[in-house]
């Protein structure tokens, strides 16, 4: 070692320490700029039947039965539809608050008509995370829109939001050898002060659920789903409990974790129980199940086909998207049914929804997953849905629902749900 070594090493160490301090200060400044003391989005109003109907109209345009991959779909969003979607998303994503607004052009040339989406999320110590995205058309709309975002007081440049958009799109697409880019999928986005018009080249009916599940880390193994589903179609069981017992008695792939085994079986049971939703639920397994067809006889729970569908769909949604999503979508379906021409709000349907969702949550819980396998391999009808739940109110129209329960966040409504949950507890439906 020469006499000059120590003086050279010390400055190098100090430079690294200075760089780390600078990065720490920069990070702290970014955090302080990103958080706020007040929410941008006010407390949301619980969605009502009209909100749900408007939002479902948009969803039908995107995910209706007639929509297949490659179909050109024109979607028009006006403020009432955006209000409905905001109310529903805020309910599903609670405690996150969401609001979307169409705004007119401002006095500056750069202030074009835009769709402004805001999100607020409470943080510890009274802080808030506020995110705003301002979307406006590029040129005549025949290109991806420009998205300028802001996290608190911290601006996010348009080029970075474009990268996030395209990367996110590639993640949520269903597995496909012919997947289209975001630019190909949205050839026209034209935003005006009164409406936003979007031309969508449909990615396929199975894309939404499969993509969201993949984004959330809950994608099912397609080979296992296909194998389980095809095995279930070989038998003409008409009772949901019999199908569930058969599913959880199948030889399970040892290379998959117990939760993954349960996830695939939940999806397979839903595909077997709800033939009209088979393709949407199959996701990446769709090419593998083309040769397998459901028996003609409808599947029932407590003698009713609709209750079997409610249980199976809620279980599939719960295992792939999470319990809160499944619960919210079940309530939205009943609110929509309460409108004129519908079958009415049904607490019996909700009981089947909540049973399926609770089994799904337990099946996805590593500590309960093996117990659920044993339980479902021997389950009975009454253990899937308490017989006493069949006497709960049904056929409630929107006016009577609002008069009796106000909304789906009211104490009266919560008491009605608590009574259902007690019945499910009594018959041993898992309570994660």
Please report the pLDDT score of residue 309 as a whole number. Answer: 97
Whether residue 76 contacts residue 200, with contact meaning beta carbons closer than 8 Å, is answered with: no
Whether residue 49 contacts residue 335, with contact meaning beta carbons closer than 8 Å, is answered with: yes
- What's the pLDDT band for 393 if we cut at 50, 70, 90? very high
| Distances, alpha carbon 73 to alpha carbons 62, 283, 300, 365, in Å | 8, 21, 35, 39
Buried b (16+ CB within 10 A) or exposed e, 125-164: eeebbbbbbbbbbeeebeebbbbebbbbeeebeeeebeee
- The helix/strand/coil state of 305 is helix
Rounded Cα gap, residues 431 and 419, in angstroms: 14
| Distances, alpha carbon 19 to alpha carbons 10, 15, 25, 28, 167, in Å | 14, 6, 10, 14, 31
Please report the pLDDT score of residue 215 as a whole number. Answer: 47
- What's the pLDDT band for 189 if we cut at 50, 70, 90? very high
Q: Is the pLDDT of residue 292 over 70?
A: yes
Please report the pLDDT score of residue 54 as a whole number. Answer: 85
Please report the pLDDT score of residue 17 as a whole number. Answer: 75
Q: Is the pLDDT of residue 31 over 90?
A: no
* H helices present in 94-197, as ranges: 158-172, 182-185
Rounded Cα gap, residues 311 and 379, in angstroms: 14
More confident residue, 279 or 242: 242
Tokens (6 digits) for 175: 């597995």
pTM score, whole prediction? 0.82
Rounded Cα gap, residues 377 and 373, in angstroms: 6
The whole-number average pLDDT for the span 395-402 is 94
pLDDT digits (tens, 9 = 90+) for 129-173: 999 999 999 888 888 899 999 999 999 989 999 998 888 777 666
The answer to which of 198-207, 349-358, 394-403 has the lowest mean pLDDT is 198-207
- The helix/strand/coil state of 382 is helix
The answer to which of 31-40, 249-258, 298-307 has the lowest mean pLDDT is 31-40
pLDDT digits (tens, 9 = 90+) for 211-251: 555 545 566 789 999 999 999 999 999 999 999 999 999 99
The sign of the CA dihedral 233, 236, 240, 244 is negative
Tokens (6 digits) for 124: 């510890």
The sign of the CA dihedral 308, 313, 314, 316 is positive
Whether residue 316 contacts residue 270, with contact meaning beta carbons closer than 8 Å, is answered with: yes
pLDDT digits (tens, 9 = 90+) for 302-342: 999 999 999 999 999 999 887 677 888 888 889 989 988 88
Whether residue 267 contacts residue 411, with contact meaning beta carbons closer than 8 Å, is answered with: no
| Distances, alpha carbon 100 to alpha carbons 38, 63, 132, 210, 324, in Å | 18, 21, 10, 25, 22
First to last CA, the chain: 65
Rounded Cα gap, residues 100 and 118, in angstroms: 6
Tokens (6 digits) for 25: 């200060």
| Average pLDDT of every residue of the chain | 87
């Amino acid at each position: 070692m020469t006499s000059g070594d120590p003086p050279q090493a010390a400055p190098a160490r100090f430079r690294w320490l200075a760089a780390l301090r600078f990065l720490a200060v920069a990070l702290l400044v970014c955090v302080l700029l990103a958080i706020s003391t007040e929410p941008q989005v006010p407390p949301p109003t619980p969605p009502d039947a009209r909100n749900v109907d408007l939002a479902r109209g948009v969803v039908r345009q995107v995910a209706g039965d007639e929509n297949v991959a490659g179909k050109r779909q024109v979607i028009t969003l006006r403020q009432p539809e955006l209000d409905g979607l905001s109310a529903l998303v805020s309910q599903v994503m609670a405690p996150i608050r969401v609001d979307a607004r169409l705004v007119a052009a401002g006095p500056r040339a750069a202030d074009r008509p835009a769709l402004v989406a805001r999100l607020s999320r409470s943080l510890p110590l009274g802080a808030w995370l506020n995110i705003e995205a301002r979307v406006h058309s590029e040129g005549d709309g025949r290109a991806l829109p420009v998205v300028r975002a802001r996290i608190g007081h911290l601006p996010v440049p348009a080029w970075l939001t474009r990268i996030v958009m395209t990367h996110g799109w590639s993640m949520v697409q269903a597995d496909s050898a012919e997947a289209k880019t975001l630019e190909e999928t949205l050839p026209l986005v034209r935003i005006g002060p009164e409406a936003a018009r979007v031309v969508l080249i449909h990615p396929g009916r199975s894309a939404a659920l499969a993509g969201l599940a993949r984004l959330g880390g809950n994608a099912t193994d397609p080979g296992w789903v296909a194998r389980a589903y095809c095995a279930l179609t070989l038998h003409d069981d008409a009772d949901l409990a019999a199908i569930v017992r058969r599913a959880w008695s199948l030889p399970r792939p040892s290379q998959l974790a117990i939760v993954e085994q349960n996830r695939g079986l939940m999806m397979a049971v839903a595909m077997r129980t709800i033939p009209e939703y088979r393709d949407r639920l199959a996701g990446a397994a769709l090419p593998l199940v083309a040769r397998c067809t459901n028996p003609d006889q409808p599947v029932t729970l407590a003698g009713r086909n609709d209750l079997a569908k409610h249980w199976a769909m809620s279980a599939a949604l719960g295992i792939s998207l999470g319990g809160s999503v499944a619960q919210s979508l079940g309530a939205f379906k009943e609110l929509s049914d309460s409108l004129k021409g519908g079958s009415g709000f049904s607490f019996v349907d909700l009981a089947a929804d909540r049973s399926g969702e609770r089994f799904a949550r337990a099946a996805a819980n590593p500590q309960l997953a093996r117990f659920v396998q044993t339980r479902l391999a021997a389950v009975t009808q009454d253990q899937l849905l308490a017989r006493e739940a069949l006497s709960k109110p049904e056929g409630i129209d929107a006016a009577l629902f609002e008069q009796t329960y106000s909304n789906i966040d009211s104490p009266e409504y919560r008491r009605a749900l608590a009574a259902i949950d007690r019945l499910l507890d009594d018959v041993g439906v898992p309570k994660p």
